[in-house]
Amino acid sequence: MGLRAYVVRRCLQLVVTFWAFFTLLFVLFRMMPGDPTSMFIMDGMTPEQREQRIAELGLNEPLHVQYIEYVRQLLTGDFGQSFIYNDPVTSIIAVRFMNTIVLMATALIFAYIIGITFGALMGWWRDSRFERGGIVVTLVARSSPEFWVGIVLLSVFVFWLGWFPSSGMRTTGGELGGGFVARYGSLDFLRHLFLPALTGAIAYLATPTLLMRSTMLDVLNADFIEIKKAEGLPERTVLYKHAARNSILPIVTVAAIATGTAMGGSVVIETVFNWPGMGREMVSAVNNNDYPLAMAAFFLMGSVVIIMNFVADLAYVYLDPRVEYE
């Protein structure tokens, strides 16, 4: 099988995966107990008002009619109207989705820069105190729950030292910039971003560190590394230009997959730091049976995972010519 046939086959699989994914979302949310009016029952909603509200939301239609309407909305990019907010879902999730992307992208960038660097050094200085200490620190970071790391950072940097704010994206009463740079580039925003991004970086640090170390150990046993050392090249040149450069391929594919999974893992971090992102909004929508908003949030999160897995497959085939197209 050639490269073109492999890409076509993966694209077809991507379409089938998306269909199965959004169909499963529709079925699961329709199987949930209760409906969007359940939260208003305690406020004195009469049965007639409840039935009228269900009809207004289109939930009295047969399931196949609701499914067709749901597919039509997805294909047109219209996620419908939020049951709770009474606003278009697209306008609600647009800003929150970007907030999550900024948070998790920052965390992953720091995690992979630090992880690749320290993993390469741990592999280069095999059996040293640096390697043994690095493995201990990495394993501790890997086994620490995100909520625990967040609480520790809050205790140290907020309640003890008072260096950073405890929650949110900006100081209460602060101005909200209009453009991307004004919104996400202000000093106030960066101070609020530091602790949740550091929490995410610690949570995702172990994978690139240990993988880079393992790959470096394999590469350092290759003949060409001994040849480069025999040529009298400086140690730094051998380390970064030849050993680390040939060890980074697995990191590329793992980073693509980690980007997708990190989007789903943002719920805990956003809850601990009261970050107004997709994770918190998704939990709130599920609790309130807000089907359009919840399904849109899950669809976007799941889409990132599916697409990044697809990118990882193609990237690996492109970067490593030894891979067979099966």
pLDDT tens-place string over residues 118-169? 888 887 777 788 878 888 888 888 888 888 888 888 888 888 888 888 777 7
* Of 281, 303, 312, residue with least CA distance to 294: 281
pTM of the model: 0.73
pLDDT at 324 (0 to 100): 58
pLDDT tens-place string over residues 155-208? 888 888 888 887 777 776 555 556 666 677 778 788 888 888 888 888 888 888
- End-to-end CA separation in angstroms for the chain: 7
The domain segmentation of the chain, as residue ranges, is: 3-76, 89-319
Amino acid at 326: E
CA atoms within 13 A on the CB side of 97: 17
pLDDT at 140 (0 to 100): 86
- Give me the DSSP letters along 106-120: HHHHHHHHHHHHHHH
Which region holds residue 77: left if phi is over 0, alpha if psi is between -120 and 50, else beta? left
Each residue's pLDDT, cut to its tens digit, for the chain (326 residues) gives 566 777 788 888 888 888 888 888 787 777 766 555 555 444 555 566 566 666 655 666 677 777 887 788 778 877 777 777 777 888 888 778 888 888 888 888 888 888 888 888 887 777 788 878 888 888 888 888 888 888 888 888 888 888 888 777 777 655 555 666 667 777 878 888 888 888 888 888 888 888 888 887 777 777 777 677 777 777 677 776 767 767 777 777 777 777 777 766 677 888 888 888 887 777 777 777 777 788 788 888 788 878 877 877 777 766 655 555 55
DSSP state of 155: I
Task: For residue 53, give the 3-state DSSP assignment.
Answer: helix
Task: For residue 81, give the 3-state DSSP assignment.
Answer: strand
The kind and range of the H/E element at 3 are: helix 3-31
pLDDT at 41 (0 to 100): 47
DSSP state of 88: B
Q: How far apart are CA 160 and CA 202, in angstroms?
A: 20
Q: How far apart are CA 209 and CA 15, in angstroms?
A: 34
Q: How far apart are CA 277 and CA 24, in angstroms?
A: 24
Dihedral angle, C-alpha 275, 280, 282, 285, nearest 10 °:
-120
CATH architecture of the region 89-319: Orthogonal Bundle (1.10)
pLDDT at 264 (0 to 100): 64
Q: How far apart are CA 158 and CA 163, in angstroms?
A: 6
pLDDT at 214 (0 to 100): 84
Rounded mean pLDDT of the chain?
76
Q: How far apart are CA 53 and CA 39, in angstroms?
A: 12
Q: Which residues contact 58 (CB under 8 A, 6 or more apart)?
A: 66, 69
